[in-house]
Structure 1
Amino acid sequence: MNAIKNKLILALFVSIFQFGNAQNISVDEGYTPEYLVNDVLINSTCANVFNITVSGGNFATGEKSYGFFDGVGTSFPFQNGIILSTGKINNAPGPNSYLSDDGGSMGWNGDNDLNTALGLSNSFNATILEFDFIPLGNKISFDYIFSSEQYLTNPSANQCNFTDGFAFLLKEASSTTYQNLAVVPGTNTPVKVNTVRGSGTICPPANAAYFDAFNDINHPTNYNGQTKVLTAESDVTPGETYHIKLVIADEGNYRYDSAIFLGGGSFNFTIDIGDDRLIANGNPLCQGENLVVDATQTGATAYQWFQNSIAIPGATNATYNITSAGDYLVEINYGPTCQTTGSIKIEYAEDLIINEDTFTLCDADTNQDGITLFDLDVIKNQLFTNLPTNYVVSFFETTTSTSALSSNYTNTIAYNHTIYARVINIQGCYTNYPIFLKVTTFDEIILDEEIGLCENDVLILNAGPGFSSYLWDTNPPQNSQQILIASAGTYHVTLTNANNCSKIKTFTIIASGIAIIEDIIINDFQENNTATIQISSSSVGDYEFSLDGINYQDSNVFSNLNAGEYIVYVQDKNGCGIVFEKFYILDYPKYFTPNGDGYNDTWFIDNLDKRNLENSIISIFDRYGKLLKQINGSGERWNGTFNETNLPSTDYWFEIKLTNEKIIKGHFSLKR
């Protein structure tokens, strides 16, 4: 009885295990690279593919990092295809119950082309599938899914900067420059963990429309997340030889494997015969419109056109004139066993009827040239208020223009300019609606004014004659040509001319008054003697400065001043008054000549007493430091003698101890 029970339990376990496995993908490492490319990925009777190679991890256990996968009976989007991984593909089947990495036991080289394409510096564990091909059509495409263990949820924000890299690198065989086809649709951004990612985790979402899911434990693959099915595609030149390199690698470390799943049979060589003309795309054919499509291909032996999967009788030329809606397909034969296709979908829409109108605007800028800025959204809201909500209004320069004008539009023809509103109905058909733009001008010259207002004074502000109306922003508003003011500030007047165009003139009234000199800061006994005139903070005005009352400067600093007496004049630029004050610059003579000619016979410091420094002590020394003479600042002088003996011509040193305790040292020359 126990034996029977044990067998039943074992049978039940095996049944459950097999049922569980049926929900997960399976992998097979036994196929050759040629089989994987020719019979799994491309699966075409006329694919001209050669030089097929694959490289990756060959583990000690005999396992590989590439091979075949089978998704039949699972929720995985692909029925089968090729898997390229940064680790063992035997880790790829679900459930998603453990971390897929190789524990550092196996490591191999990265790929320089991948590094260049993605800007990497440290890729390794690269798995590469590459081959040459000669396309018959002018376009290739294939489907893929990128899966990765690096699609983590919330363990650490550090994960946001880690991502393995992969690329689908295409080039002409004679070229050295690759184009990466594994990019976010409509961009040049490579698809990676941090460029295609969903929301709800520590890391911010990125291009979430292309992200499928963060996987739970029951997922048919053992990866934490994956993209939706994406399509890599490129235009090619029929008959040219191309090289494609499909490569994936770890970046930074061996942990957290990633994989590319290539959809079986999805590598297609097709003919691009034009964009679909669909209502949803905004480009359906309008009633009565024909479309000639051209599928001409070099080397083709026969053509057959189909509409809605039914062969069109007699439609066996390379071109076909479409006159009705439908799904069109052309089969192109290159021989008894080689065929390519091209397809296009066509929809038609209804026509509509609309009227005309005019929009007038004043020239709003300073250059009154009949050119101004129109807000086309305002025009649209005023002229098309009764259109159905599913109609789209865009503006164009001409009836044949294809580039819509921006809502902020500047007319290019002065004064009178016609543009066109293209009103598109829900089917995508349109009528060109002429919009007459008229620009009226404000030709009068308006200049803003800045005026000073002296203390206790009043001003009359005059906006000038010749306008149909005036409006001052005073409280209360005034509508006269001129107003009387008694306080500083900014005053605006809106002037309207005979064209009913307006401009604003601004009067900036600046409070002004006579200056109060608070201090004169003197920096003397220097190579460059200066005087800085400090005006009291209570002074209100715009001031200029002068040392002669004639030549004025804006700077309050005077430089390169010689020793002597000065008068500084401070004048308000707005005519509110002038003040002046005397000051003295001190310095020492650089030499003297005690030769008895009555000129420069003594050495002294002039004007010390004018600076209230008459009690200063000046000590004179010879070159050896011997004190020769002391004089005060009240006018005493040295005649070049010591003990009534003339001293020789040479340099002598001095030290000035000013009354304010400042000490100045230097030397001068005695010349005989």
Structure 2
Amino acid sequence: MSRIRNTIFILVFLCSFFTNYAQNITVDEGFTPEYLVNDVLINSSCANVFNVSVSGGNFTSGEKSFGYFDATGTSFPFQNGIILSTGKIVNAQGPNSSLSDDGGNMGWNGDPDLNQALGLSNTFNATVLEFDFIPLGNKISFDYIFSSEQYLSNPMSNQCNYTDGFAFLLRRSDETTYQNLAVVPGTNIPVKVNTVRGSGTICPPANEAYFDAFNDINHPTNFNGQTKILTAVSDVIPGQTYHIKLVIADEGNYRFDSAIFLGAGSFNFGIDIGDDRLIANGNPLCPSEILPVDATQLGATSYQWYKDTNSIPGATNAVYNISSPGDYLVEINYGPTCQTTGTIKIEYAEPLVINQNSFTECDADTNQDGKTVFDLNTIKNQLFTNLPSNYTVSFFNSTTSTTALPSNYTNTTAYNDIIYARIMNIQGCYSDYPLNLNVNTFDEILVDETIGLCENENLILNAGSGFSSYQWNTNPPQFTQQITVNSDGTYEVTVTNSSNCSKTKTFTIEPSSIATIENIEIEDFQENNTATIKISSLSLGDYEYSLDGINYQDSNIFRNLNAGEYVVYVQDKKGCGIVFETFYILDYPKYFTPNNDGYNDTWFIKNLDKRHLENSTITIFDRYGKLLKQITGSSDGWNGTFNGNPIPSSDYWFEIKLTNGKTVKGHFTLKR
């Protein structure tokens, strides 16, 4: 065996040296199928392989569609291995400068097993490598890369579904149904151009995590793109005979070749000693848990356990009790030259430490009913002192509930509620953690105020007594119950009660001043006498008006006033003071009784002098227009006589010519 390997090394070295050394892969078609399987793909003395066969293109020029490849010194992920192609493998050598497009019109058929595995009916140019084997362990695996000319970096839309097919078909020798191992990891989806493809073209990406790249011209192979290294894996029964068939073919026609690269030495007859116990998988070991791992294999002569590549002293039994995290490997010997391995990766769940399990919020709305919103995302970050970032925590209202609470949760029990925190992605290690949610209230009612600030005065703002702390929004902030201000604006004070709950009260300070009465506009000698109080535009306040100093109104107009003397009071609503002024309403008497009883014996207009109208002229007529009397506003009036003789009871007319230019006409009654 060693002599054959040395021969291969020399041949490969010479081939690599003379054809684009350290640039592109090279291929060799001169090795037998048995050698490709036993010495390249498997390369283990433990292998029990037989019935090896290979078939592919029967090119008249003698080239083959299968063989050995060497990528030493190139950027290709495998150093060497086996290549199976739908065309000549010599055309798989880089650079990626031509279209590999072989096998047309030569009667090169597809494969019925591949058709059945992929649900196809139109495959062509199939290359098949198959063999029987008897595994020592209970698991096989091997690594591969799928490359294709159909990975187009600038395709047309009708080319997005072009894809060649391949399958790794495995069955027990006594069975007829194959299992396809060439699938997207964790799925049953066959690996093809349109199921593993990257983004960046008009074709939709698919399972991008497993796609490597679209290739430019300077690539070690002559294919337009390829997957990353993928691993085919399957459980097997030790000692049973299995048949495996590795097949690739063109779909639809011979155009655009594809290839499978199988990594040398990657076909592993290992054993499965159990699933990895990982936090990411949700199945780590719980704190202090011990996991017995049984690697017992029929025919094994010795065992050696390793942790993190270091042998474990004394760990030479088939069963090993794992009690700490690490990467474990068991080496199983079946003799001096035959050895298999099994691996398992172990992680431990963190022993969580409670940092805080009681959380208090203040009732945040106006209805102080002991219910408010809790931010469960914030609580999650405060709950444990050592919660790993990849642990998922959800909250529930009972230990049996399966419906998680929303991140913004309003407690259902007033003032105190109990909910439960649950680690969701680590199963079996943690029980639910009860949490107390407490709600404090602020029952005192704060009423915003609007206050006037009088000119040249200071104002004391009082937030009220009985609170634990105060903070005003002044610059700098003040922390007392009362503050003194001398300018208008909005002042806010945040008060905190003994339960550490806060509310804010707003004082709106508006400039104000005592009023200045600029004028009183009077409309009199009418059925509806009115007085309108005019305030100076320089007055800043909000004013109310009164004629008795007790009852005030917002309107500055007084109506239905009788003749007489009035005092108007103007008061600033914000407390800056009151001003007053006297005014007079004039009107004529509707009748008089000149009977010398000392009451209402003469007819005259009162208060003309108070309005500076005492020089006005008043003329009195009888019903026929006869002039009876003319007097001035300063006289004692008319006593009901004409030429010294009393005139009879009747209605009489008058005309008043006021010195302000206004004329008033009317009539009155003389009664005897």
TM-score (norm 1): 0.54
Pair 1:291–1:163, CA change in 2 (3 A):
same
- In structure 1, the residue matched to 2:34 is 34
CA distance in 2 between counterparts of 1:272 and 1:50 reads 24
Give 3-state SS (helix, strand or coil) of 1:132's partner. strand
Contact 1:128 1:248 in 2 (8 A): yes
Residue 392 of structure 1: aligned partner: 391
* Structure-1 residue corresponding to 2:641: none
**CA deviation map 1:182-231 (0-9, x unaligned):** 01111111000011111111211111111111100010000000000100
Who is 2:100 aligned against? Answer: 100
Look up the equivalent residue of 1:422 and give its one-letter code: I
Matched to 2:431, the amino acid is: N
Letter in 2 for 1:203: C
Q: Does 1:316 align with 2:316?
A: yes
How far off its partner does 1:139 sit?
0.8
Q: Which residue of 2 aligns with 1:191?
A: 191
Which residue number in structure 2 is paired with residue 208 of structure 1? 208
1:278 CA displacement: 4.2
Decide whether the 8 Å contact of 1:45 with 1:338 is kept in 2.
yes
Task: Show the counterpart of 1:353.
Answer: 353
Q: Match for residue 433 of structure 1?
A: 432
Provide the residue aligned with 1:297 in structure 2. Answer: 297
Distance in 2 (CA, whole Å) between partners of 1:249 and 1:19 is 28
Paired residues of 1:86 and 1:249 also in contact (CA < 8 A): yes
Question: Any conservation in 1 of the 2:142–2:262 contact (CA below 8 Å)?
Answer: yes
Map of 2:499 onto structure 1:
none
Q: Which residue of 1 aligns with 2:469?
A: none
- Contact kept, 8 Å, 1:296 with 1:318, in 2: the verdict is yes
Report SS of the residue matched to 1:161.
Answer: coil
Given the alignment of the two structures, is residue 132 of structure 1 paired with residue 116 of structure 2, yes or no? no
SS in 2 for 1:22: coil
Cα distance in 1 between the residues matched to 2:173 and 2:138: 16
Q: Does the CA contact (< 8 Å) of 1:36 and 1:82 recur in 2?
A: yes
Deviations 1:98-146 (A, max 9, x none): 0001262534111111001111111011000001111111111100000
Alpha-carbon deviation of 1:264?
0.4
Query: What residue in structure 2 maps to residue 123 of structure 1?
Result: 123
Output one character per residue of 1:445-497: Cα deviation in whole Å (capped at 9) or x when no partner. xxxxxxxxxxxxxxxxxxxxxxxxxxxxxxxxxxxxxxxxxxxxxxxxxxxxx
The verdict on how the C-alpha distance between 1:391 and 1:63 changes in structure 2, with shifts beyond 3 A counting, is closer
- Asked whether the 8 Å contact 1:33–1:52 carries over to 2, the reply is yes
Q: How has the CA–CA distance of structure 1 residues 58 and 400 changed in structure 2, closer, same or farther, with 3 Å as cutoff?
A: farther
* Residue number in structure 2 paired with 1:228: 228
Contact 2:65/2:84, CA 8 A, preserved across alignment: yes
Assess, with a 3 A threshold, how the Cα gap between structure 1 residues 407 and 298 changes in structure 2: closer, same or farther: farther
Aligned-residue offset at 1:324: 2.7
2-side partners of 1:296 and 1:103: how far apart?
A: 49
The one-letter amino acid paired with 1:433 is D
1:52 counterpart letter in structure 2: V
> d(CA) in 2 for partners of 1:134 and 1:397?
52
How does 1:128-277 map onto structure 2 within 5 Å? 128-277=128-277
Question: Cα deviations across residues 253-300 of structure 1 (Å, max 9, x unaligned)?
Answer: 111000000000000011111233345555444442222111011222
1:230-261 deviation digits (Å, cap 9, x = unpaired) = 00101111111111100000111111000000
Matches of 1:328 and 1:235, distance apart in 2: 19
CA contact (8 A) 2:155 2:203 kept: no
8 A contact 1:423–1:431 mirrored in 2: no
1:237-636 equivalence runs, <5 A: 237-279=237-279, 281=281, 283-348=283-348, 350-354=350-354, 386-387=383-384, 390=389, 392-394=391-393, 421-422=422-423, 431-435=430-434
Identity of aligned pairs, percent? 71
Question: Aligned letter for 1:432?
Answer: S
1:52-106 per-residue CA deviation (whole Å, 9 max, x = no partner) reads 1101112101111100000111111101110000011110000000000126253
Whole-angstrom distance in 1 between the partners of 2:17 and 2:241: 48
One-letter amino acid of the counterpart of residue 119, structure 1: G
Q: Which has the larger radius of gyration?
A: 2
Distance 1:399 1:130 in 2: 58
Q: Displacement of 1:352 after TM fit?
A: 1.8
For residues 117 and 280 of structure 2, what CA distance do their matches in structure 1 show?
A: 35
Query: Which whole-Å CA distance do the structure 2 matches of 1:205 and 1:250 have between them?
Result: 21
Cα 1:104–1:56 shift into 2, 3 Å: same
Letter in 1 for 2:315: A
Helix, strand or coil at the partner of 1:245: strand
Distance 2:54 2:399 in 1: 52
Q: Which whole-Å deviations, capped at 9, do the CAs of 1:614-667 have from their partners, x for residues lacking one?
A: xxxxxxxxxxxxxxxxxxxxxxxxxxxxxxxxxxxxxxxxxxxxxxxxxxxxxx
Offset, 1:155: 3.9
The verdict on how the C-alpha distance between 1:144 and 1:356 changes in structure 2, with shifts beyond 3 A counting, is same
CA contact (8 A) 2:87 2:103 kept: no
Counterpart of 2:423 in structure 1: which amino acid? R
Measured in 2, the distance between the counterparts of 1:213 and 1:56 equals: 27
**In the aligned structure 1, how far is the partner of 2:25 from the partner of 2:93?**
5
Deviations 1:2-22 (A, max 9, x none): xxxxxxxxxxxxxx9957343
| Contact residue 94 and residue 220 of structure 2 kept, 8 A | yes
Q: CA contact under 8 A between 1:114 and 1:247: conserved in structure 2?
A: yes
Aligned counterparts of 1:79 and 1:261: Cα–Cα separation in 2: 11
Pick closer, same or farther for the CA change 1:386–1:333 going to 2, 3 Å.
closer
Structure 1 range deviating more: 294-303 or 270-279 = 270-279
> How many positions carry a matched residue from both structures?
401
Give 1:420 shift: 6.1
* Structure 1: gaps spanning 5 or more residues: 1-15, 360-376, 410-414, 439-672
SS of the residue 1:115 aligns to: helix
* 2:625 alignment partner in structure 1: none
Q: Is the Cα–Cα contact under 8 Å of residues 394 and 405 in structure 1 kept in the other structure?
A: no
Say which SS state the counterpart of residue 392 (structure 1) adopts.
coil
Q: RMSD of aligned C-alpha atoms? A: 3.7
Output the amino acid matched with 2:81: G
Change beyond 3 A, Cα 1:73–1:149: same
Is the alpha carbon distance of 1:84 and 1:356 closer, same or farther for their aligned partners in structure 2, counting shifts above 3 Å? same
Contact 2:395–2:419 at 8 Å: present in 1 too? no
Task: Specify the alignment match of 1:647 in structure 2.
Answer: none
What is the alpha-carbon distance in structure 2 between the residues aligned to residue 379 and residue 182 of structure 1?
44
State the shift of 1:153 in Å.
1.9
Q: Is the partner of 2:160 in helix, strand or coil?
A: helix
Gaps of 5+ in 2: 1-15, 361-373, 408-412, 438-672
Matches of 1:389 and 1:270 in 2, distance apart? 34
CA distance in 2, matches of 1:183, 1:71: 25
Amino acid at match of 2:52: I
Contact 2:395 2:421 in 1 (8 A): yes
With over 3 angstroms needed to count, the CA separation of the structure-2 counterparts of 1:155 and 1:339, relative to structure 1, is closer
Cα distance in structure 1, aligned partners of 2:48 and 2:375: 59
Instruction: Decide whether aligned partners of structure 1 residues 103 and 118 sit closer, same or farther in structure 2, where only a CA change above 3 A counts.
Output: closer
